[in-house]
Structure 1
Amino acid sequence: MSLADRHVTALMRQLASQDVVELVHPFAEWETLGALVYIAECYGFRFADVRHIGKQKSVCVRLVRDADPRAQQRAAANAAAFPQAGAGGPVPGMYQGSLTPVPEAQPDVDLITMLIRYDALGAAANRKQLITMSWAFPLLFVLLAALTGKFAVLLTLAALTPAFLLITLRVNEARRAKLAQRLTAAGCTPVRDEQGRERFVRV
C-alpha cells in the first residue's frame, strides 16, 4: 500500500466515525494536505482551521462535518460512486493510488491549499506574540547578563533576538499578503473569525 493510500485509508476511517477530524502529517507537503481536505469535502466535511501542535509545531488541519444538505447529498453520491474509497480503490478527484488531483479537481485543491497555507502562516507567527517576544527576550537576556556576568554573549543575544523576530514577522506578513492577493483573485472573501484572526472564506 502506497503512502497516499495509507493517508486516504486513515482519513476515511475518521470521516466514517467522527464529526471533527484532525489531519496531522508532520512531513506532508501543502499539496498533500490540500488533496486530503478536498477528499474530505467530497464526503460531507468542510475545512475549519489550522493550528500548530507539539514541540515541533506540526501543522494540524481541522475539519468539521458540514450540515448543509448539499454537502450531505454530495457525500452520499460519492459514497455510491466510490465504494472502495479507503480500501485501495479510487477516490473523488484523484488519480488512482495517489494524491495527485485530476485536471478538473486541480483548481479546487489549489484553492484549499492556499487557504491552509494562509491560516498556517497566521498561526505560526502571531503579530502580537512576536512583538511581545521582541522586547521580552532582550530584557531577560540583560537580566541574565547582570546575574551571571556573561555580558558578551547575552548582550549580543539581547540585540540580535528582536531583529530576528521582527524579520520573521516581516517575511511572514509578505507571504500572507501574496496569498491574500491570490485568494482575493480566486473569489474568496476576507473575514475575521471569533478569535479576531484574519481569514478567507470561499463564496
Structure 2
Amino acid sequence: MSTGQVRTMVSLMAQGAPVEVTNSWATVSKLARLAHLGEQFGYQYADARYVNRGTQLLLLPDPQPQAYQRAQHAWAQFPQAATGGPVPPLPTHAPELLKAQINFDLTGRHNEKRRILAVIPITVIVLIQLMRDGGDSAVFWIPFWALAMCLAVGMVFYSRKRHTTHEAQLQQAGYVQVPDPTGRVHYVPAGSSLAAQGTPAGGPQPGPYPGPGQIPPQQHPYAQPSYPQQAQAPYQQQPYGQQSHAPYQQPQAPQQPYGQQPQPPQQF
C-alpha cells in the first residue's frame, strides 16, 4: 500500500463517506492493517471481496461516540493529512479478530465459483493441444489436466476449512452474524453499529444504515450528514472528527440500508 493510496483513503475519510480500497497484490495482513488505520479515523471494517482488479476492502463511517473520539485524536495528530500534509503510517500489526473477519469474508462459498471456473480455460487449452498434436501429446496433457483438477478441488476444501476455523474464532469472541442484502453473512462485533442495524441470526430485520442522528448531538461527527453525497456538490465540511458540535439537522432523504447506498462508494 503506497503513501499515495493512504493519502487518497484519508482524504475520502475526511468527507465521512464510505470508502472502497482496491489493491491487486494485497494480502490479508495488509488489508487488516489498512482497516485498522481506518478505525483510528472513525471508520469500521464492513466487507472484503475479490474483484477483477484484485481484492476490495469496504470501510464505513462508525457513528459510535468512541469512534468519534478516535477520529478526533487521529486528526489532531495529522491535521493536514487530507490536504497534502503528512499522512499516518500503516500500523505495524492489526488485531487478530480483524484479520479473522477479512479471512472469513474472503473464504466464503461465494468465492468458490471463481476457483471452479478457473479450470475451464485449463480444460480448453488441454483439448486444443490434444486436437493439434494428436494422441502423442496425451501422455503429457492428460496428467497435467488431472493435476489441475485435483489442485482446484483441494483449494475448495482447504478454503472451506479455513472459513470454518475463522467462523469458530469469531463466534468464540462474541461476534454476531449480520447478512447483507445479497445474502452473504458477515461477522461483526456484538456492540458495533453494524450489529445494531443489521440482522443477527434470529434477530429483527435490518433497519436503515445508522446515521449521525443516532449519536448524541454533542458527539456528532458531522455538522451536516455527508452520506449519501450529492453529485457534483463541492465539499465544505471539516474532516471527520473535527466537526463543530452543532445540533444534528435531520437529513432530507432517508438513509439506505447497509450495503444499498444510492450511489456507489468512492473507489481508488
TM-score range, shorter chain: 0.5 to 0.7
- Residue 127 in 1 paired to residue 125 in 2? no
Q: CA RMSD in A?
A: 3.4
Mark the CA change 1:49 to 1:84 in structure 2 (over 3 Å): closer, same or farther.
same
Residues 1:158 and 2:150 are matched in the alignment: no
Query: How do residues 1-203 of structure 1 correspond to structure 2 at under 5 angstroms?
Result: 8-17=6-15, 19-54=17-52, 58-66=54-62, 68=63, 70=64, 73-82=65-74, 83-85=76-78, 86=81, 87-88=85-86, 99-100=91-92, 109-122=95-108, 126-131=111-116, 136=120, 140=124, 143-144=127-128, 147-148=131-132, 149=134, 150-203=137-190
- Describe the SS at the equivalent of 1:52: strand
Pairwise CA distance, 1:25? 4.4
Distance 2:118 2:71 in 1: 49
Q: Which amino acid aligns with 1:175?
A: R
Q: Helix, strand or coil for the counterpart of 2:77?
A: coil
Cα deviation code 1:76-108 (max 9, x no counterpart):
43343331323447x7xxxxx56136xxxx6xx
Rounded to whole Å, the distance in 2 between the matches of 1:115 and 1:28 is 16
Could you tell me how far 1:183 is from its partner in structure 2? 1.0
Q: Which amino acid aligns with 1:45?
A: Y
Q: Deviations over 1:20-61 (max 9, x none)?
A: 21233455553443233233234343222112234xx63221
Range with bigger deviation, 110-119 or 32-41: 32-41
Q: Which runs of 4+ in 1 moved over 6 A?
A: 3-7
| Residues 126, 80 of structure 1: alpha-carbon distance in 2 compared, 3 angstrom cutoff | closer
> Is 1:141–1:154's contact at 8 Å kept on the other side of the alignment?
no
Q: 2:7 and 2:189 mapped to 1: Cα distance?
A: 27
- Structure 2 distance, partners of 1:128, 1:11, is 30
Choose between structure 1 and 2 for higher RCO, CA contacts under 8 A separated by at least 6 residues. 2
Q: Deviations over 1:137-171 (max 9, x none)?
A: 68646643553224333322332222111111111
Larger Rg: 2
Stretches of structure 2 lacking an aligned partner (at least 5 in a row):
191-268
Tell me, yes or no, if the aligned pair for 1:46 and 1:64 is still in contact at 8 Å: yes
CA contact (8 A) 1:144 1:154 kept: no
Structure-2-length-normalised TM-score: 0.54
Identify unmatched segments of 5+ residues in structure 1.
92-96
The TM-score normalised by the length of structure 1 is 0.67
- Aligned partners of 1:35, 1:139: CA distance in 2, in Å? 38
SS in structure 2 opposite 1:23?
A: strand
The answer for the alignment partner of 2:252 in structure 1 is none
What amino acid sits opposite 1:58 in the alignment?
G
